[in-house]
A and B are shown apart, each in its own frame.
Chain A
């Protein structure tokens, strides 16, 4: 055996590396990542849509409205995926988004124009997330409790700031609204924002040390600590990241509704968490993917869309979503067992 501490030029048999690159194409990776079930589910829902409403479902305008609908929660889901892979949970996302939207649309903020409004939303979101993170990482609060407290408090603060009134975006700040009205290649800008956040999130999770640490901190915090990772600082950053995503989501919902309101994003936390879980991320942390979360969210959005198009009861829609969560988790547990040695 040669000296293991000295670097060497040869890097082992090339056969292994090439064999792995064979599955590096996007479709291969989706299948390899265990997303087959999600893709099948989406395909099924699309078929159901095409059969039940052949006139309306397949139209461009309907597909765009599905994507626009998914965009706001989608951005939040990206942040939630990080937090959950990192072994935590963030219940405050909907309320933080509402608070960001209210803060960005107050009379005082609106005076400074759309750019400052956007920055304001992002700063409020990130700041609130940072508070969550500090409470959890350094104050050693259980994430569930810390973010539950933030959910209640942020919503209350949003009500106080807005006096429970819906704050309209002034005409001179309509640049924000244009995110939803301006279309490039027929698709509204906010869908591009969503796609950009997903892409950046994927890169952050899969190509950076931050992502690697997220898996480590969620998968085995003690091992991460003993390997010299600053687990507390990383935990704090994860919640700040979730807050940042809420701030971005706030801009999107302001664009879509032309308002800032303390009622925005009610129960978004449940949809976001459900999407992450359906996407195959372990609630106990350490395992999960961004792609899975987004596919999970698309399933949810498709169901909503199908129910609306077919004029069905929203209560039944909720029942269907509940069933899907249970079925998805049961299926995943089975596939996990099959993969175990």
Chain B
């Protein structure tokens, strides 16, 4: 039904898709597998008409198509259900289902007709209990999923793309989702299903396509009986080998951070670990496993119970206090959570330690600029102009500016959340070297990354996090990518 050949999508500095083939049949559940950064999300966006491919062809029912925007894709019968559900909380179920194509005449919405139609779709999905007039914000995540599905069906979708639909659902809700998927596929609709959970793919999927580094590495594997080891080795073993700095020879120093029984309801529970001076502790896990939330809780940016001890002293859970005591966080969303994009590199670097540059509130701008220039040089931020607005820098250099912020003052503990996201391969090696140097200077580093090789190559010790719990702790040198991926996806502790 859908045939994609040699799809290439280039972004500045990154070749996100580098020749992807995909082949979906009517009425099947086609699973898309791949590590973070393999190109799954970009591929979906190409199908949804958000991105236009630079090269390659897309055929749908034998006709060549080129969706030029989301509306175009919808008209062709493609519906996408994104990871974060894109529903309007303040509107009713009916209004959400028919958003953009309401039952209306001359701009007047015919509520009765809309509600009637919505009820039919919901019944077809086996959920007559969801009332069309209910405000969507009041529904459970599972019910919202049904509404998203109803919206897809209301468009007469013939291909439904689902991006990690089970991430927000509890176990029994997943079973219901599968039932709905089976119903729609029985009616000849094709589903492209993306998930990291292998057991789900085995249960619901018909065939599997594996992506790696923007390329298709396997097409049309049977979902039911392809051995896990084969799938995992297809996903790993990349062409690009990262260069990691050598680990120090001497053992790490004193304990910088101790976390005991840290729990944040709904995110993670009973997490305990410690970080020593000069040590990099890596947290490996999927998005939504609780790894980033653990960092936030340690930093004081997320409510939690349990004990956090910094250099022997228990800390109160406030960001302001923790920064003063020597913590620093490089958050996951660089642009949204860390940078003042309009401001200069200097202003961004000094933001975390303004009091150190001030006497009675008066900024010593000469010293501020001197320190910024020193760090720009030391971290090799390019172009080497501290007065340049941060938004004009590349991703890797922006990340360096965030790291530079925490090189000022006496930091004891750095929390790094996906430090290399959106950074090209060359700049990654530089960032790894910077992070290792930081640790060597006596700082404890807590590193979160979706990329298993990164955690294994950079960290000294590794915690594997799955569904809010630490399921494994061990020396990074004793683990391999295979083993960790297996633990992350299947929950089998080594």
Contact = CB atoms under 8 A, between A and B. Distances in A.
B336 interface: yes
Contact of B299 (A10, A210, A226, A230): A226
A286 B340 contact: yes
A30 interface: no
Nearest to A219: B340
Contact of B351 (A8, A11, A207, A229): A229
B369 A17 contact: yes
Interface string A199-211: 0000000011111
B441 interface: yes
A213 interface: yes
A212 B363 contact: yes
Interface in A42-87: none
A308 B90 CA distance: 50
Nearest to B330: A226
B11 to A, nearest CB: 16
B342 A4 contact: no
Contacts of B357: 209
B342 A219 contact: yes
A228 B336 CA distance: 15
Q: Which applies to chain B's interface (DSSP): helix, strand, loop or mixed?
A: helix
A230 B352 CA distance: 11
A18 interface: no
A218 to B, nearest CB: 9
Name the residue among B340, B341, B376 with the largest chain A CB count within 10 angstroms.
Answer: B340
A1 to B, nearest CB: 6
A341 interface: yes
A220 B358 contact: no
Interface residues of B, number: 55
Nearest to A222: B337
B355 A209 contact: yes
A208 B362 contact: yes
B367 to A, nearest CB: 9
Nearest to B333: A222
Contact of B377 (A7, A12, A219): A12
Nearest to A2: B378
Contacts of B391: 341
A20 B329 CA distance: 32
A226 B376 contact: no
A94 B134 CA distance: 43
Interface in B352-390: 352, 354-355, 357-358, 361-363, 365, 369-371, 373-380, 384-387
Given A5-B438, A220-B339, A222-B337, A11 B361 contact: no
A185 interface: no
Given A1-B433, A5-B438, A12-B373, A226 B407 contact: no
Top 9 nearest A-B pairs by Cβ distance? A228-B323, A12-B373, A4-B378, A11-B370, A209-B354, A227-B352, A219-B340, A227-B351, A209-B358
16 contacts: A3-B441, A4-B404, A4-B407, A12-B373, A207-B363, A207-B365, A208-B362, A208-B363, A216-B343, A216-B351, A222-B336, A227-B351, A228-B324, A230-B320, A286-B342, A341-B391
